[in-house]
Structure 1
């Protein structure tokens, strides 16, 4: 069925006539440890406590600019939006990555937490929603203020346990991300991903977390520190209505990988939607394409509907994965 034949989803395609604003306005935000983060805000001119603000958490070593068109779309459909780069990436990159001590846990507990606090300060009284791509879904569970999240949408969200990779790609991906990446990082003091055409340059601490072959986040190097320091990880603070979207040809976001991360969100109401490319008339989608504007008419309305209502529209493509 064509999604545009569904009134609830077809309405999402209409660009609303909203008050004038300056979309994509750059900002700087200081995390609690003093690190200065950079990002962009899409903010309507008139305040409205009923208007949600959406924070978009990027995938590992993907710049926040990758999500700008999706942010434009949310803004046109009545949301305020915050995008940001984790420390070491894009707008938040310091002069030297060799001197940067940054980890996955820092990206969630410090950087994403800083955005939650910014949203509460700059958009007082407004509902706070989150969209997390890949590791960005994991980061959504690492902020101490996670209890303020109303609706959460994750796309291909997991924390890269190698046995969860799609079998057809598993050993190539293991060699690339768990052997080559840490070896190159040891030589350079950071991972020069941009030079190799493998995402953005990445801090060494993030590489250590990514490449450690364990199925538990709290056994990753920075996860161990966080768990030992606080006695637990803060995922359970999130009570948001959560939609986890996975695409069947995404070699990272297998059902096992998505379910592994969802298992940490013990106090949220979780729905896992599995989409086959042919469900939306495509031959392939993969891990990164969801946020490309080519999918504005097919995939973006699914996230929009959830952010608006906390529910899936009746004719949403794909199938719900039964929760174990």
Structure 2
């Protein structure tokens, strides 16, 4: 059964979640979206997991997707960190209230901001998909120049002339989001320590407190999350036993996976089965 739920964050902002109930649930899996990606993009994976004994929750961050409204628009979403501190936090709390072990799959920024949630310490297992700490110097030439120009010129310029940033037009997602968030994201990407830089004054204590195993899955053809950036992100989870699994599309008879391809159901019988097996092992 698939149902919609409004979850209220600590600052009274509502966000819309979709709950995929399993007939025989062994746990609840949260799927946290990449920037500019609506929750319904993850529906195929959510259905697959729910058919295999896990409840699944997807959600749209405030001011995006189904969580857009006058009450939680740009004015209440001036900080990208709210997505971790308040939105992911509220979804974890909601999931814990269902009385089952809670697992987490973070796609791209969904993994990056996990440590901003104080309840992340309660998760049973953490999996990152194409999640990294992007900084232009960690790309090889000439991609590093492209990233430098994107973060320091393209993103700031477009975000100042438009109130909503055309992520969809640029091929970076399937929805536009408030430009104020893109300006902040560009600043993060311009710092060698990404969001972990002291100049952003974020409460990073949660990253130190996470001790669960983290499996970080990357792809050799993902130009947005190269291996060194993936490993850089994991370095900010110093007390977690983390592991990187880098997959070449050829290993799964695919021509391309890239940054978002993992969630295509053509990978149901290999990549998704591997994730399912891991989660069931952790559940025992």
Instruction: Tell me which residue corresponds to 1:60.
Output: 35
Q: Pick one of 144, 167, 170 that aligns with 1:193.
A: 167
* Residue 101 of structure 1: aligned partner: 77
Match of 1:4 in 2: none
Larger Cα-atom Rg: 1
Specify the alignment match of 1:239 in structure 2. Answer: 211
Q: What count of residue pairs does the alignment treat as equivalent?
A: 278
Contact 1:55–1:131 (Cα < 8 Å) also in 2: yes
The equivalent residue for 1:260 is 232
TM-score relative to the length of structure 1: 0.79
What is the aligned partner in structure 2 of residue 290 from structure 1? Answer: 262
State the partner residue of 2:202.
226
1:43 aligns with 2:17: no
Shift of 1:173: 3.6
Name the structure 1 match of 2:125. Answer: 151
CA RMSD of aligned residues (A): 2.2
Q: Distance in 2 between matches of 1:220 and 1:57?
A: 25
Structure 2 gap segments, 5+ residues each: none
Q: Distance in 2 between matches of 1:220 and 1:205?
A: 20
2:186 is the counterpart of 1:214 = no
Distance 1:152 1:76 in 2: 20
- Gap change, CA 1:284 and 1:215, over 3 Å in 2: same
* Pair 38,112 (structure 1): closer, same or farther in 2 beyond 3 Å: same
Deviation at 1:258, TM superposition (A): 0.6
How has the CA–CA distance of structure 1 residues 310 and 244 changed in structure 2, closer, same or farther, with 3 Å as cutoff?
farther
Q: What SS does the corresponding residue of 2:224 show, helix, strand or coil?
A: coil
Q: Please give the per-residue CA displacement for 1:225-250, whole angstroms capped at 9, x wherever unaligned.
A: 323xxxx4311222222110010110
CA contact (8 A) 1:97 1:190 kept: no
Give TM-score scaled by structure 2 length: 0.90
Is the 2:89–2:118 contact (alpha carbons within 8 Å) kept by the matching residues of 1?
Answer: yes
Q: Which moved more, 1:295-304 or 1:108-117?
A: 295-304
| 1:141 aligned counterpart, secondary structure | helix
> Contact conserved, 1:64 with 1:90, CA < 8 A, in 2?
yes
| Equivalent residue, structure 1, for 2:146 | 172
> Separation in 1 of the partners of 2:141 and 2:4?
41
Q: State the 1:155 CA deviation.
A: 0.7
Aligned to 1:319: none
Superposed displacement of residue 56, structure 1? 0.3
The alpha carbon displacement at 1:113 in A equals 0.3
Does 1:110 pair with 2:86? yes
Deviation at 1:45, TM superposition (A): 5.2
1:273 aligns with 2:245: yes
Following superposition, the deviation at residue 196 of structure 1 comes to 5.1
Q: Answer whether contact 2:218 2:230 (CA < 8 A) is retained.
A: yes
The question of whether the paired residues in 1 share the 8 Å contact of 2:165 and 2:177 is answered with yes
Q: Deviations over 1:201-234 (max 9, x none)?
A: 222342133212012123287xx2323xxxx431
Partners of 2:264 and 2:205 in 1: CA distance: 32
Partners of 2:75 and 2:131 in 1: CA distance: 29
Stretches of structure 1 that go unaligned for 5 or more consecutive residues are 1-21, 312-324
Q: Deviations over 1:79-132 (max 9, x none)?
A: 0010001111101112485534333311111100000110111x12x1110001
* CA deviation after TM superposition for structure 1 residue 138, in Å: 1.2
